[in-house]
Amino acid sequence: MHVSSPENCDIDILENGRTVKDVIDNKIKELGSMDNEEPFYVANLDSVYKRHLRWLTSLPRVKPFYAVKCNNTAAVLRMMRALDTGFDCASKAEIQMALSLGVTPDNIIYAHTTKPLSHIKYACAHGVDMMTFDSEDELLKVSCCHAKAKLVLRTAVDDSKSLLKLSSKFGARLVSVGKLLERAGELGLDVIGVSFHVGSGCTEGSTFKQAIADARHVFDIAFSEVINGALDEFFPPDSGVQIIAEPGRYYVESAFTLAANVIAKRIVSDDVDEHSDCQENSPGRMMYYLNDGVFGSLSCIVHDPAHPNCEPYLHRVVESSERRYRSVIWGPTCDSFDKVIDNYWIPELRVGDWLLLDNMGAYSLQISAGEKENSTVFWTMGGYYGLAVLVGVSLLLTTGQCDVSCSGLDGRPGERGAPGRDGYPGAKGEKGEPVVMVEGPVDPGVLLRLKGEIGNRGSQGVMGPKGYRGALGTAGSPGTAGRPGPDGKSIGHGGQQSHLQARSAFSVIRTDRSYPRVGQVVTFQNTVVNTPEDFNAATGHFTCRVSGVYYFTFHSVAKVSVCLYIASDALLDKLGFCDYNRNSEQVLSGGVVLQLTARQKVWLESFKDQQRPSELTDSQEKQIIFSGFLLFANTE
């Protein structure tokens, strides 16, 4: 069964035991038959409706104003309209969306503390009076454009327990509240309330309680049990204060599942993890490329710290025996920043496989005003919740209007809820009258009986639950030493300097005012590093002590022409580098990687001496830096 709308927003009613997983399976088969590999969402409006019922049950005094910025798809907004929530709008475009649904202006709050003047004027022209502020400058803007505004002061709160912190950017500190309220009075503006934002992804109840206590403080100047308790404590029902909230992620995050297709793969065979269980000749790291990434639907991975860890899972059935490989999953763009997840161990994927990601309904499908929805969304609804709101939502989808005063047929009775918690202990009763014991026969009509003899001891009861863990006892005496372990493998060749066998590095500087003549070995005056004395600065020769692979490099700074060789017994030809210069200071650099054996030498040598005598004795210092070090030693 489907419900259709003019906006191409069909709703698939789940009947006869069908589930969201069945819808995903069918859509993948349909797209495969059409050679369509584009990513898509499957959204279950049941989840949104259940969240709304939970809100009404848990926070009955708090009216939700849905945060349009979180997910502004047409079906979600129309459903919120059908559920008669308010709308939290952060821009002119979002106000336009809400008004186009028939939302009355008094059910809209312009919840942004830094508003453009043109947007304030638009809100004023369309009767949207309720809006937030947190600074004197914002008060001045509002006083110029919307003198009849109903202002809500946003305060900064402790959001240290939240994943996405906002108080560093928005909100007035409590110390400045008095001055702001006084300034608003001077400007003739009406401040009707206080708001706060504890940050996105906050699950610490004490944070809400403190924020509500701060709100009570502002009024003095001018999780569900914790929140309800704090509301009753600081704003009792008879205080006349209306409480509203601006949930977004709460309603829509769990309702959406994203399906993305593997469009390419690559095997990186030279990056095998030595600690993995990969066998010889097996692939090392696998790279997969999806048709969606962080520049598309998965932008929340980068920009939304409150989003849970991204862990896509394979749509097709995976056998438990399939080997897992260390993998990287990329988006489709050419940007190296487009990385979805790294070091993820999954079975080998095939091109054409589909990956699914749950909880993708928040901050991933935003649509600009006047634009069509770019993402493909398949909508579903079912169960008792789908039947309960089907009439209202279908009217909104087809006509854009919903008479919320009408009611459909009574639904089926809900299932019996779980037993409630035990109540608090009752008050202690009053002390009874004293008993007067008299001799003589006992009247059968009187319940008073004389105290009898002590009965027999009863049987032992059932063992109670385990008690709390006791304090840690004092440390015992040390045990006996264990047996020595096996000998380790030896590395290198023994000797008096065996600890130096695999180390060699030097860096020296020549600061002489003249360059060496042609064919002359370059010598150096200053030694920066020489470990362990393998370079002779006086002769300019490096002598190999540890056979292995070395890297040598030099840098020369001068205002004259420079021609230098890197020479070695290990080279058939010398490596020459030249820089012909007559006017400005130039840098000449060169480098080489060499395989050396013990006692082979490496040095720096001048050639093609084309300088004029005046250049050779230039008054400016000419610096040559020569460096080298062992990359790795031969193992044999």
Q: Could you tell me if residue 420 is inside a domain?
A: no
Q: Is 224 found in the same domain as 173?
A: yes
Domain range spanning residue 118? 2-30+42-251+379-399
What pLDDT does 529 receive?
A: 92
Q: Is residue 2's pLDDT more than 80?
A: no
What pLDDT does 148 receive?
A: 92
CATH number assigned to the domain comprising residue 50: 3.20.20.10
What pLDDT does 4 receive?
A: 54
Q: Could you tell me if residue 626 is inside a domain?
A: yes
Q: Is 210 found in the same domain as 290?
A: no
- Cα-to-chain-centroid distance, residue 555: 45
Whether residue 278 lies in the annotated active site: no
Phi, then psi, of 246 in degrees rounded to 5 = -125, 65
Q: Is 259 found in the same domain as 233?
A: no
Q: Is 387 found in the same domain as 259?
A: no
Q: Are 246 and 88 in contact (CB under 8 A)?
A: yes
Alpha-carbon span 479 to 11, nearest angstrom: 71
Q: Are 581 and 618 in contact (CB under 8 A)?
A: no
Alpha-carbon span 595 to 259, nearest angstrom: 52
Report the alpha-carbon angle 66-68-73, nearest 5.
115
Predicted structure pTM score: 0.53
Spot the catalytic one: 145, 300, 310, 334. 334
Alpha-carbon span 532 to 536, nearest angstrom: 11
| pLDDT tens by residue, 463-490 | 888 888 888 888 888 888 888 878 765 5
Q: Is residue 91's pLDDT more than 90?
A: yes
What pLDDT does 6 receive?
A: 45
Q: Where are the strands (E) in 116-175, listed by range?
A: 130-133, 150-155
Band of pLDDT at residue 110, cut at 50, 70 and 90: very high
Q: Could you tell me if residue 369 is inside a domain?
A: no
Q: Could you tell me if residue 418 is inside a domain?
A: no
Q: In sequence order, what are the beta bridge partners of 356?
A: 259, 313
**Backbone dihedral region for residue 479 (phi beyond 0: left; psi -120 to 50: alpha; all else: beta):** beta
**Lowest mean pLDDT: which of 258-272, 335-349, 403-417, 603-617?**
403-417
Q: Could you tell me if residue 347 is inside a domain?
A: yes
Count structural domains, the chain: 3
Q: Could you tell me if residue 93 is inside a domain?
A: yes
| pLDDT tens by residue, 293-344 | 888 888 777 666 555 556 788 888 888 888 888 899 888 888 888 888 888 8
Tell me the range of 29-38, 66-75, 386-395 where mean pLDDT is highest.
Answer: 66-75
Q: Could you tell me if residue 454 is inside a domain?
A: no
What pLDDT does 449 receive?
A: 55
| pLDDT tens by residue, 420-431 | 777 777 778 888
Q: Is 263 found in the same domain as 147?
A: no
SS (H, E, C) 39-54: CEEEEEHHHHHHHHHH
Order of strands, edge to edge, in the sheet holding 62-67? 190-196, 150-155, 130-133, 108-110, 86-89, 62-67, 243-245
Across 147-153, average pLDDT? 91
Q: Is residue 292's pLDDT more than 70?
A: yes
Tell me the range of 77-91, 445-459, 477-491 where mean pLDDT is highest.
Answer: 77-91
- Which residues make Cβ contacts (< 8 Å) with residue 433, sequence separation at least 6? none
Q: Is 247 found in the same domain as 140?
A: yes
108-110 vs 86-89, strand pairing mode: parallel
Alpha-carbon span 598 to 621, nearest angstrom: 36
| pLDDT tens by residue, 332-354 | 888 888 888 888 888 888 888 88
Cis peptide before 532 (omega within 30 of 0): yes
Alpha-carbon span 26 to 247, nearest angstrom: 33
**Lowest mean pLDDT: which of 113-127, 432-446, 506-520?**
432-446
CATH number assigned to the domain comprising residue 259: 2.40.37.10
Average pLDDT, the chain: 77
Coil, strand or helix: which one is 534?
Answer: coil
What pLDDT does 406 receive?
A: 36
Order of strands, edge to edge, in the sheet holding 562-568? 535-536, 541-543, 601-606, 562-568, 575-579
Alpha-carbon span 117 to 140, nearest angstrom: 11
Q: Which of 557, 577, 556, 558 is nearest to 567 (CA)?
A: 577
| pLDDT tens by residue, 476-531 | 888 888 888 787 655 455 455 444 457 899 999 988 777 777 888 899 889 999 98
> What percent of the chain stands above pLDDT 90?
19
| pLDDT tens by residue, 162-204 | 454 445 556 777 777 888 888 888 999 998 888 766 545 445 5
Alpha-carbon span 313 to 259, nearest angstrom: 10
| pLDDT tens by residue, 560-614 | 777 888 888 878 777 787 877 666 777 888 899 999 999 999 999 888 655 554 4
